A and B are shown apart, each in its own frame.
Chain A
Amino acid sequence: MRPALALTRVQLWALLVAMGRGNRTRRRWSVGALVAVVAAVTVTLSAVYSFGFAAMLDQVGAVDLVLVVMPALAAVGVISGGTFGVSRSVLGGRDDDLLLGLPIRPRTIALAKMSAVAAQNALLMVLAVVPSGVVYGLHEPTHAWFWPGLLAGTLALALAATAVSVVLAFLVTLIAPSGRGRAVANVAILLVTSGVVFASIPFSQRLQGLLADDPAAFAHTVGRWAWGFGAVRDLAIDGSGQAAALLLALGLLPFSAVLWAVSAAYVPLITRRAENVPALGRHSRVPLSRMRPHSPFVALLVREVHRFLSSTVYLVNNGFGVVVLLAGAAWLVAAGVPEGIRALATSPGLPLPVLAAGAVCLPVAMTCTTAPSISLEGDRLWIVRSAPVDPLVVLGAKVALNLLVVVPALLPISVVLAVRTDIGVLGGVLVLLVAAMFTLVVAETGLLTNLVWPVLDAPSDAVVVKQSVSVLVALVGSVACYVILGVAGAGTASVAGAVPGLLAMLLAAAVLALAMFRILRSWGVRAFNRLG
């Protein structure tokens, strides 16, 4: 038992400390600060949703369903947010050789790794569920067993969510081959993931509509489909023994089953991942005559593209915005401008072209390949640092990747906007220019944050892409720049019309881009040169 607990503690600390930076003391503080920020954001979001749901459900006397909906949302959140990280931490990490060389059973290693992930998921889910318990308590009286029941139920769901994450992570690992097929597989994973998200939109919209228009129907639907999560409510409110047994089974059984499966196949799983071997007995020989020289900038850009396409978590995390843009273009062709947008476009300061630019820039704000790009250099930074290449060229290639990923996806939607809506060709061109310039702003924002908060010793890409301070701050920064553009556009459009509004957005983006370029050219290069 002691080895399992010791390993679990180390694994959990590894998951948390990977987010921090600096020496031991500074890293503890930065991890603490980041955990505090994540906790605050989670609790705030959960509280907002909980109060909103409860207010509507109280109308039909079904406020208890907030204890069903919030645990369900929390479970979906940890599964969707944690799967790629699980694939690196549970199914393979930099400590595999060390751990497998110890006199510890693979089952103990697997248990420690899964337990660390479960602990992390439990913390997030508790933070998400507690506000719903508070909200329920404001509407209805609670018994002494309410909080223990709610927390125990949440912990059981965290175990189940962890099991689902590990299974999904295993599937991702299975279908993401090594070598040259990896890019194709990763794009396929991105499309499948995006498809699942898009497919859930009509379902969640219908539920939201039900909640707003017919809370009784909503309560009936949720009660029918979320039976597992209903056990959390039954345990917290009624202290139901049956619910407790169900949650115990829902939590322990899948977790134990997955643990048994992972333990049984742990060494082959890790070995397969570590070896990363192409088809056995076949070596793909590429004639040297096919080698063509490129400029250092092109070589660096090609490297960035290879890295982007070969990393599942990097591609999926940053490719979703691109898929949204393409899907948006397709949707506009099929269905035209939604009535709600048309109605909003009658507001002063929000003519359709400005709204369109805002809508297009939103997924752009979500697509920041530069925010983890310095960190992704990791221990390989010495390669470009020892090369006779201006650091600005290295940084420029990272910005260029962001532009290369996003700008081609802006073309279809701009064309469709010009052709399918009233904004016309000029409007379409201006929307394209605004969005392209904003892409540059987002890219530079990400690069600056990553130069401030580089993490060169992360255990995996997933930690850097999904959990780093740089990525979080870059997202906030990009949204702030988005708001600046929106204010510039709406403010100008309200007095001068749509085209001046778009030009104001373009000017605002250009000013931001130029300002950040100047910072990158001076401070950014010095910061890059300080990275050892």
Chain B
Amino acid sequence: MLQISHLTHRFGSKVAVDDLTLAVPAGSITGFIGHNGAGKSTTLRSVAGILPFTAGTVTVEGHDVRADPIAAKKVMAFLPDSPDLYDFMTGQDFLGFVADLFRIPGPERRARIARYAQAYGLEEELGDVIGSYSHGMKQKLALISAFMRRPRLLLLDEPFVGLDPVAAHTLKGHLRRLCDDGGSVLFSTHVLEVAQALCDDLAIIRRGRLVVSGPTAQVTGDSSLEEVFLELQESAR
């Protein structure tokens, strides 16, 4: 589904992502773990085709993100951490806008919006301007806009931040269902308990380099993910 090969991203003299190679198979939820500034967001944005990268290749369902970005983006959905939305639009206008960009036909978009709005409890607020939304409501709206597209690959940067427990539970269900339907998810999080419980695979990044990746059970062994993560940080010092 997603193949990242020798991805490198430099900001001037600083190397944000260093020769990262990672595969996310179809049907897998992969957790992307790392300390602050490790390169998680840079990696996700590079995969999403938002941030140009210095070297390497990224292919999504066989489409090269650099050579054929339009085709790659058609099958992807990306949400940054704390996504900023258009404050001047209503929630419904925003969803309609995104649906137009992804050319989702009328009946399908109405059905999907209704379904996901109900799932995330945002039906009543869709007619309000986004500027009046709380952070959690904006997060929910962004998630609706992502799931509405039926992406094959979902890239999420800290998706659980700001979500209430009900919405977080709903999100987990949607992520699992997406993967059961053959899609894939790559998401970054600092909530290690969620990552350990939810993810089929884990990838831990440190200072732009992948330090460990693989099935969750293989990465954690008999320890908790927190213990593994802290041990890796300590050993690298």
Asked if A and B are interacting partners, one says yes
The answer to whether B132 touches A388, judged by C-beta atoms less than 8 angstroms apart, is no
| Cβ distance B236 to chain A, nearest Cβ, rounded Å | 27
CB distance from B50 to the nearest CB of A (A): 4
On chain B, the residues within 8 Å of A179 by CB distance are 128-129, 132
Q: Give Cα distance in the complex from A88 to B104, angstroms.
A: 37
The reply to whether A384 and B127 contact each other, CB–CB distance below 8 Å, is no
- Check if A390 sits within 8 Å of B110, measured CB to CB: no
Chain A, residue nearest B96 (CB): A291
A25 to chain B, nearest CB (A): 11
- Does A143 sit within 8 A of B, measured CB to CB? no
**Residue contact A387 to B102, C-beta cutoff 8 Å:** yes
**Residues A278 and B129 in contact, CB atoms below 8 Å apart:** yes
Q: Is the beta-carbon distance between A303 and B97 smaller than 8 angstroms?
A: yes
Contact assessment for A382 and B80 in the assembled complex, using a CB-CB cutoff below 8 Å: yes
Residues in B92-131 with C-beta less than 8 Å from chain A: 92-93, 96-106, 109-110, 113-114, 124-129, 131
Please tell me if B71 contacts chain A, counting CB pairs below 8 Å: yes
Interface hit among B82-90, B172-180, B186-194, B227-235: B82-90
- Do B110 and A285 have beta carbons less than 8 Å apart? no
B131 to chain A, nearest CB (A): 4
B209 on the A face (CB < 8 A): no
Report whether B84 and A306 are in contact in the complex, using a CB–CB cutoff of 8 Å.
Answer: no
Q: Which residue of B lies closest to A273 (CB)?
A: B131
A283 to B49, CA, bound (A): 37
Q: Knowing A178-B131, A276-B129, A306-B93 touch, does A384 contact B101 (C-beta < 8 A)?
A: yes
Residue of A nearest to B72 (CB): A388
**A residues within 8 A CB of B83?**
382
For residue A389, CB closer than 8 A to chain B, the reply is: yes
Chain B proximity of A447: nearest CB distance (Å): 20
Question: Please, which residues of chain B bring their CB within 8 A of the CB of A293?
Answer: 99-100, 103-106, 109
Q: A285-B124, A389-B70, A390-B70 are in contact. Are A276 and B89 (CB under 8 A)?
A: no
Are B100 and A276 in contact (CB-based, < 8 A)?
no
Cα A303 to Cα B51 in complex, Å, equals 23
* Known A-B contacts A288-B113, A293-B106; A383 and B98 likewise in contact (beta carbons under 8 Å): yes
Closest to A283 in B: B124
A291-B106, A532-B45 as given contacts; A178 in contact with B132, CB under 8 Å: yes
A224 within 8 A of B: no
Q: Which residues of B contact A386 (CB under 8 A)?
A: 48-50, 73, 76-78
B74 within 8 A of A: yes
| A299 at interface by CB-CB < 8 Å | yes
Interface positions of A from 149 to 181, Cβ below 8 Å from B: 178-180
Return the chain A residue nearest B125 by Cβ: A283
- Chain A 263-279 interface mask (CB, 8 Å, partner B; 1/0): 00000000000011110
| Pair B132/A385 contact, Cβ less than 8 Å | no
Quick check: is A144 within 8 A (CB to CB) of the other chain?
no
Residues of A in contact, count (CB < 8 Å): 46
- B39, chain A: closest CB distance, angstroms: 14
What separation, in Å, do the CA atoms of A293 and B74 have in the docked complex?
A: 17
Please determine whether A286 and B99 come into contact, CB atoms closer than 8 angstroms. no
Contact at A380–B86, with CB atoms within 8 Å? yes
Alpha-carbon separation in the docked complex, A310 to B90 (Å): 12
Q: Mark A490-532, 1 if CB is under 8 A from B, else 0.
A: 0000000000000000000000000000000000000001101
Minimum CB–CB distance from A141 to chain B (whole Å) comes to 57
B37 within 8 A of A: no
List the A side residues contacting B77 at CB < 8 Å: 386
* B215 interface residue per 8 A CB criterion: no
Among A182, A295, A381, A530, point to the contact of B88 (Cβ < 8 A): A182
Q: A276-B131, A288-B92, A383-B85 are in contact. Are A299 and B101 (CB under 8 A)?
A: yes
Q: B113-157: which residues lie under 8 A (CB-CB) from chain A?
A: 113-114, 124-129, 131-132
Min Cβ gap B36→A in Å is: 18
Q: Of A296, A379, A389, which contacts B84 at CB under 8 A?
A: A379
- Beyond A277-B132, A385-B49, A530-B52, whether A303 also contacts B89 by CB under 8 A is yes
Could you say which of B80, B84, B92, B132 contacts A291, with CB atoms under 8 Å apart? Answer: B92
- List 30 A–B pairs whose Cβ atoms lie within 8 Å, in order of A's numbering: A178-B132, A180-B129, A276-B87, A278-B129, A283-B125, A283-B128, A284-B127, A284-B128, A288-B110, A288-B114, A291-B106, A293-B99, A293-B104, A294-B100, A296-B100, A296-B103, A303-B86, A306-B86, A306-B88, A310-B88, A378-B84, A382-B78, A383-B85, A385-B48, A386-B73, A388-B72, A529-B52, A532-B45, A532-B51, A532-B52
Using a CB–CB distance below 8 Å, which chain A residues touch chain B?
23, 178-180, 182, 275-278, 283-286, 288-289, 291-296, 298-300, 302-303, 306-307, 310-311, 378-390, 529-530, 532
